[in-house]
Chains A and B, each alone.
Chain A
Amino acid sequence: MKALRFERNIPRFAAANIAGRLSSGGGAKVGPLRLRNVDTPRLPGPGWVEILPRLTGICGSDLATIDGNSSRYFEPIVSFPFIPGHEIVADLSETFEGVPAGRVVVEPVLGCVTRAIDPVCVACARGDLGNCERITFGNISAGLQSGFCCDTGGGWSTSMIAHVSQLHAVPADWTDEAAVMVEPTACAVHGALAADVAEGDTVVVLGSGALGLLTIAALRRYGRKCTIIAVAKHPHQQELAREFGADQVISSGHIARPIRRITGSLAIGDGDIVRLTGGADHVIDCVGSESSIAEALTVVRPKGRITMVGMPGHVHLDLTGLWQREITMSGAYAYGTETLPNGERRRTFDLAFELVAAADLGRLVSATYPLDRFEDAITHAANAGGRGAVRIAFDLRNEKERNRA
């Protein structure tokens, strides 16, 4: 099969890191990501099945990996070489253990059930799949998700394997574009609910790339009634942020000034703002960069909460304000089971399916590329905002290797 494979190659890591600094997505040309012909992974045990990816998205964590910017934190929880791609809609050729033949969306977290661990860990028992405590154990290699594990393959290929517990059937009337948005939407739903926004709160959503926009939509659909302030750089992002439910949309840059005005805060500084004395009740950071976290700390009120939905890495930050203002900072990774404001417990993926349909999120897929053009695809994805795009995906539907398979 044809696949984009990420290999452990230190000189190429270094080259990717340099190229990625020079231009976003530059790591694709010189880094450890290579287009290869490889074998389909073997099935590690019962419950596993081969699937054929149709569309697979390119997300921020993929881009950070390709540009050599991701944290070394991941080294022990991934296994090389891996085939990236975890936002997947694929074909299941035959009905398998109750999942009907046809299109499926993959829930990629590799928790206890996929690893044949019994009894499952506390987090998995709770339904908090993203918090699984056994992601390096069991009968498959280390890997927090499909797409980061050498045994499962990933969506940037014409074939991979998945556990039946990972498969969600796609309604027949859905487009592939809508289906491929389910996984990132699930991340956003989890982030929006993890923020635990109280009624009447003011929430700043930093970043209006795909994750930020989906978080706004999720907050509006599943969260309590609140004022949403979206920080968006590009005009199309600003328009979508408004459409998805942001009450106020402000340009990226000097966000402290408009947030001060909207929240009615005072500010320290003689006309220039050093920092706000008050600020927003919540900041949901959908960027995860050093500057976005610093911004979050500047505009959140004392005892406010920052929820990291975007993947951060190594950052250099002054956390004195976090201490002095008693700010809570928490992460929101992946998905599992959510508690809705009315107390109901729902699978995140089920909520994501509903949101994708309700908000017509398939339209956020702006362009697709064949695997051969992966460098162009990565460059486009890394510069999506500036090029008027939201989500870029690989289109595997017409790959010769897939159809031969």
Chain B
Amino acid sequence: MPRPGFVLDVDRSTPPILFHHGEGFRLEKLPPGRSRVIYPAEPIEALKNPDGAIRDALVNPIGDSEPLTALLKPGMKLTIAFDDISLPLPPMKRPDIRQRVIEAVLELAAAAGVDDVMLIAALALHRRMTEDELRHAVGDRVYDAFAPQGLLVNHDAEDPDNLLFIGETEKGEEVEINKRAAESDLIIYVNINLVSMDGGWKSTATGLASYRSLRHHHNPQTMRHSKSFMDQHKSELHSANWRMGKVLRDSGVKVFQIETTMNNNVFGTEGPMSVLQKREWEWSLKDRVTVAGMKTALDHMPQRTRRSIFNSWQAPHAMTSVQAGEVEAVHKLTTENVYAQHLVQVEGQTDILTMGLPYISPYNVNSILNPILVACLGLGYFFNLYRGRPPVREGGVVIMSHPTPWEFHPVHHPSYIDFFDQVLTQTHDPVVMSEQFEKSFAEDEWYRHLYRTSYAYHGVHPFYMWYWCSHALEHVGQVIIVGGDVRAVRRLGFKPASTLQDALEMASDVVGRDATITHLHNPPILMADVS
């Protein structure tokens, strides 16, 4: 029986706590008597027969939906859209969930005589997936059957010939999605719901959308009114997507939604990485030696080698549920299943929230976690992993640990380089930058060319990363990064600190000397349910 997540009050006997620190770790002693650590739940039980569960979900849909077998008809146009490289994190061991689901769907489609099938990686404004990445996601069998004929493609949010304007929501939000998908008799969307933000109408209304459509909810105003964007019912991001979903539904776009959840088994139960999902006071002598050895070895490796090692890690996380059918009914159940793994009850807010940021975020798979992504991972994702109230009080301090190298992947993140040099030198205010700079980046022909033909994130994407931080930037009084490149940290508008002790000392200027401290022991992922 896996143990649930819990909150540890730090006392004098508490051992140093493991902080992720990019492609490395730090062991930090937290001040006793005023510190606590929020631990994630242990991995919940995986489905014993995932393929059987998928088949069962397809023929026993939930909500107002016929079984998939009844929806598939000869001569129909079918589009299967699936989540892109940003999910799951880290990439999972083969077979990927998407492969299992897509193979099951294709078997039913073939049995029903459906021969007009196209697969689309629903990447919105993310970079295109490479052949290797697509093969990993959908499996070699599916890739070889579809890709050579041009029937397995990356969504292109800048292809004017393959976008269809559907209409506007009652709030004037334009809905424009992939034309092939919109004109299909049925869209089957294959989700991996790593966190509660994923899925629902966000899958189609965001994953298959254009910039024209996305800008209506990927903006500072929306993000400031999403508290948090991990909590659908308090998230303007989700409200906008749901409004768009209604426009899609009312226009006749038919979506059969398949959502899957997965457990927290990120580092496995065996091997050296497994120690990373154990609780420190339960480390055996072997575990302590392993951590010390790993840390020493990593500290002495060149950055490129460290990055290569971590990027090659494929997690053994496994599927815990699959549900299919009508979008909203499916998503309701999915969210409950995500929460079952992630939610941890936390009593009250803290003055200082600490977090150790790992090497990976949704936007740097097989890439570099550049400074903008560091900010987004900490203040966008980790900060928003809450329900109820933020774990840190208004005016409190966030301390993040990450090397924050002044380094960018030029192929994946070309507009990030310019955003860092040309926008963050002018302003850190998400509203100001959206008004003064966003359009010129979004409509930049070179970025557009690289997004469409190479493997670059869309020109506007760094803005979205900064907007993701909007709620946190408005809420907290100070952000400190421990162990980061000083110049890069300052460019972000944050304070650099050499050690956690220095950071706590700096934080005391804002929140006082007896401030309470809460550490998010993430990853594996947890979501604080703050009373």
Contacts and interface: CB of A to CB of B under 8 A. Distances in A.
Interface string A244-270: 000000110010011011001111011
Contacts of B417: 257, 271
A258 B418 contact: yes
B414 interface: yes
Interface stretch (B281-289, B290-298, B448-456): B448-456
A97 interface: no
B413 interface: yes
A265 B418 CA distance: 14
Given A265-B446, A271-B411, A258 B422 contact: yes
A173 interface: no
A272 interface: yes
Interface in B438-470: 440, 444-446, 449-450, 454, 456
A266 B447 CA distance: 9
Interface string A293-325: 000000000000000000000000000000000
Given A260-B446, A266-B449, A271 B422 contact: no
Interface centre among B410, B412, B449, B454 (most CB of A within 10 A): B410
A260 B446 CA distance: 9
Contact of A271 (B413, B444, B445): B413
* Interface residue range, chain B: 10 to 19
Nearest to A276: B446
B418 A271 contact: no
A278 B36 CA distance: 57
A250 B446 CA distance: 20
B9 interface: no
Interface in B399-456: 409-414, 417-418, 421-422, 440, 444-446, 449-450, 454, 456
Interface residues of A, number: 15
A270 B410 contact: yes
A254 to B, nearest CB: 8
A97 B230 CA distance: 86
B446 A267 contact: yes
A266 B456 contact: no
Contact of A272 (B410, B421, B444, B449): B410
A273 to B, nearest CB: 9
A13 B440 CA distance: 52
Interface centre among B411, B414, B446 (most CB of A within 10 A): B446
Given A264-B445, A270-B454, A258 B421 contact: yes
A53 to B, nearest CB: 43
Given A261-B440, A261-B444, A270 B450 contact: yes
A257 B413 contact: no
Nearest to B409: A271
Contacts of B445: 264, 266
B318 to A, nearest CB: 36
A236 to B, nearest CB: 16
B418 A261 contact: yes
A192 B410 CA distance: 36
Given A261-B440, A261-B444, A271 B421 contact: no
A254 B417 CA distance: 11
A271 B412 contact: yes
A261 B412 CA distance: 18
A124 B412 CA distance: 58
A271 B440 contact: no
A271 B449 contact: no
Contacts of A250: 422
Nearest to A257: B418
Nearest to A277: B446
Contact of B456 (A254, A258, A261, A271): A271
Nearest to A268: B446
B423 to A, nearest CB: 10
A270 B413 CA distance: 10
A320 B233 CA distance: 61
A250 B421 CA distance: 9
Contacts of B410: 269-272
Contacts of B449: 266
Contacts of A271: 409-414, 417, 450, 454, 456
Nearest to B416: A271
A265 B445 CA distance: 8
B113 to A, nearest CB: 43
Contacts of A269: 410
Contacts of B418: 257-258, 261
B419 to A, nearest CB: 10
A250 B422 CA distance: 8
A257 B422 CA distance: 9
A260 B413 CA distance: 16
Contacts of A264: 444-445
Contacts of A254: 421
Nearest to B444: A261
Nearest to A271: B410
A271 B418 CA distance: 11
A260 B450 CA distance: 14
Contacts of A272: 410, 414
Interface in B272-316: none
Given A257-B418, A258-B422, A270 B446 contact: no
Interface in A119-171: none
A264 to B, nearest CB: 7
Nearest to B445: A266
A261 B446 CA distance: 9
A251 B414 CA distance: 18
Nearest to A260: B446
Nearest to A248: B422
Leading 9 A-B pairs by shortest Cβ distance: A271-B410, A271-B414, A272-B410, A271-B411, A266-B446, A270-B411, A270-B454, A267-B446, A257-B418
23 contacts: A257-B418, A257-B422, A258-B418, A258-B421, A258-B422, A261-B418, A261-B422, A261-B444, A264-B444, A264-B445, A265-B446, A266-B445, A266-B446, A266-B449, A267-B446, A269-B410, A270-B410, A270-B450, A271-B409, A271-B410, A271-B413, A271-B417, A271-B456
Given A257-B418, A264-B444, A272-B410, 5 more contacts: A257-B421, A258-B422, A261-B444, A271-B411, A272-B414
